Structure 1
């Protein structure tokens, strides 16, 4: 594990250094908010894992450049786990005792494995755009925060978008939608929501799992060629996405009939396919590539221009870089909110940060002031809603870049809320958890 102490950045810069390795004991003596960072910079998913990690860490550096969280500087430590669930759990165990603020595993498999551990260790799990969909219910999942959206949200909006293209939800009757999905907890998450929509609207759902890491899909696309679905939903990650687009091109399946989840809609997914992926669409977790946003301009000026950037300058503002940056931002704002209750200018514990995350109120004025104008819509969490937002846009690959659409979609809260409550109550029964009451939520 490589350790970097962000709080020392100014001093390091003054003597002409761009990074430093310091002992854990030295940092323990400092008044710093510690952020463990689980990463996969190596292995089959590194092309997607790297920009996310760079955006996450860069935002911590930007917060320090802006003075910290009410004066409290941030530090972090990376732990490489190669997208392997067992290694991700090992990273958690190695870092949890160092004053961990939150964990963001960027893996649904690791999230499932840590969901039972987080309440014992009293450390929040922030899973922005992934993880367990039913963990939106904070009365049961007190330590899970699937902020900004879950895979059930993504599945619901995907069906809404396909219906809009077809002329309305009633036009889905008799159609066939194929789900090409990563054969893992991540890929299986949207299935219940899609099955529910299929029952409601009368379309056929074809399930086509793809084995890790997703480089062999010829049999899958032969099935698609034979069954002729009207649309294909791509629920992939890493090399699986570009492979799917290449196979679609080879078999003649129209890319404008393909719609990817937000983890299948980044630059690494399409750059090697180029014009061959033109017309392909993907959901966005609110943001797309945002090179012209104020927060990106601040990042370039206050971090990268001073030689403190984590990764290459030209990736700043890309889709996955922004995803990591926003994931970091919501964690930071959880700490800031916690300080309002437990003391401004103080280091927050994981338990105190959990309260902050559960009481987030990021209105548009606040987001705009932080540099996220045009990037995000408001986020407001509560005991019963650990997600805080269900807004989604659609972006289209034009052959050279991602172009976000003007329309915003919102998941059907009435439909999904019932699913969330049913699943969370079932989980509570299995784990013998008593859901928190409104009175307990105030504590």
Structure 2
């Protein structure tokens, strides 16, 4: 039924003159975990991408070409992700998995086939190295860069000197949580602060031992690498151990549901690293609200529009749609994976009307600059704590190059 309706809408758009009769449908595939581990974010991202594509289609699509979003569930299972990839790779200009295990499993195939793979905020951090990962586009900061930017923010707060400061790195004890540790340890050597690691086991509901040890450490800053309900547990443990939440900065996976579950007043003072502007004041958001939700036509619950995960979905796909526009304009249709890759590598200073830090992608840097900033919850709203920054780039890129070189060696590239 949905496909029939979509076809009818497409035909109507052609008849009304919004889309030329000779237009090519530009397809983008979202092979996502919609049922298991990543369901705390995937519904909001899918909703955002569909909404934005629909608004662009109402305006004539991308340079006169309609957009189609293909969505399939892989349940966070690598084999199902590979099956989805094989099914859509010749239909879609980009394939996105939003899952580290699935991204890692599918990456060799995309590289071999010469298909554009989107890998924002998941998968291998070293794929920002476009010289090695020609077909993979993270389009955002690595976790190494995000951790470095948090330390940079703390250094500025501390008057430019971290000597004698105590930083606790609190994390879920599996690869996602462990990834920033080498960078944190190198920054400790450079800046002279005292670093202690506080892991806790999956699924993250038992953090009592880590917090008891942290109470004895008495940190000046707690960097928390976690997601979803782990943040709620951490806030309760902080209170139980007499540690103020204003000492904590979380990785970007802290959203409005976490905030509500902690309590708006109880969460006052907590900070999060972010890769996207919060709220609904961005022009793209206003377009979506006016053209869809005010007319009862949105692709999900209106309450999610103010969720940062919805904004994250827009921030991932706004530059992808912009890259497709650049590619169509310069290379013309029919579109190919090679043309899409060139389009992505020609994105310059693109910020989606202030939605994200200005993104400049090149053949060397598929991340776009690695900028993040810190926001503070004041009890009623998120307050930016400075400009978008990308600091310690020498360290971050040395880490990237070390890992990408290992990958290149292992694959004989």
TM-score, normalised to structure 2's length? Answer: 0.89
Residue 274 of structure 2 is aligned to residue 284 of structure 1: yes
Query: What is the aligned partner in structure 1 of residue 256 from structure 2?
Result: 267
* CA distance in 1: counterparts of 2:80 and 2:181, whole angstroms: 27
* CA distance in 2: counterparts of 1:302 and 1:269, whole angstroms: 29
Residue 127 of structure 2 is aligned to residue 132 of structure 1: no
Q: Compared with structure 1, are the counterparts of its residues 405 and 5 closer, same or farther at alpha carbon in structure 2 (3 Å cutoff)?
A: farther
Partner of residue 154 from structure 1, selected from 127, 130, 146: 146
Residue 65 of structure 2 is aligned to residue 72 of structure 1: yes
Residue 299 of structure 2 is aligned to residue 293 of structure 1: no
* CA distance in 2: counterparts of 1:173 and 1:185, whole angstroms: 29
Q: Compared with structure 1, are the counterparts of its residues 82 and 226 closer, same or farther at alpha carbon in structure 2 (3 Å cutoff)?
A: farther
* CA distance in 2: counterparts of 1:166 and 1:280, whole angstroms: 17
* CA distance in 1: counterparts of 2:189 and 2:6, whole angstroms: 51
* 2:315–2:355 contact (8 Å) kept in structure 1: no
Query: For 1:380-422, what per-residue CA distance to the aligned partner results, in whole angstroms no more than 9, with x for missing partners?
Result: 2111111112222211112333222343322222332222223
Query: For 1:24-68, what per-residue CA distance to the aligned partner results, in whole angstroms no more than 9, with x for missing partners?
Result: xxxxx9931111113334335423332222112211212212211
* CA distance in 2: counterparts of 1:10 and 1:30, whole angstroms: 11
What is the correspondence of 1:325-344 to structure 2 with a 5 Å cutoff? Answer: 325-343=314-332
The aligned length equals 403
Tell me the secondary structure at the aligned position of residue 196 of structure 2: strand
* 2:31–2:71 contact (8 Å) kept in structure 1: yes
Tell me the secondary structure at the aligned position of residue 162 of structure 1: helix
Residue 412 of structure 2 is aligned to residue 432 of structure 1: yes
* CA distance in 2: counterparts of 1:9 and 1:307, whole angstroms: 16
Consecutive unaligned residues of structure 2, counting only runs of 5 or more, are 14-21
Q: Compared with structure 1, are the counterparts of its residues 3 and 185 closer, same or farther at alpha carbon in structure 2 (3 Å cutoff)?
A: farther
Residue 379 of structure 2 is aligned to residue 374 of structure 1: no
Query: For 1:1-26, what per-residue CA distance to the aligned partner results, in whole angstroms no more than 9, with x for missing partners?
Result: x869756546689xxxxxxxxxxxxx
Post-superposition offset of 1:300 = 0.9
Tell me the secondary structure at the aligned position of residue 177 of structure 1: strand
What is the correspondence of 1:49-198 to structure 2 with a 5 Å cutoff? Answer: 49-97=42-90, 99-168=91-160, 170=161, 172-198=162-188
Post-superposition offset of 1:87 = 4.0
Post-superposition offset of 1:321 = 0.6
Partner of residue 310 from structure 1, selected from 299, 303, 307: 299
* CA distance in 1: counterparts of 2:183 and 2:136, whole angstroms: 20
* 2:357–2:388 contact (8 Å) kept in structure 1: no
Residue 309 of structure 2 is aligned to residue 320 of structure 1: yes
Range that drifts further, 401-410 or 238-247: 401-410
Query: What is the aligned partner in structure 1 of residue 235 from structure 2?
Result: 245
Residue 36 of structure 2 is aligned to residue 47 of structure 1: no
Partner of residue 342 from structure 2, selected from 332, 355, 368: 355
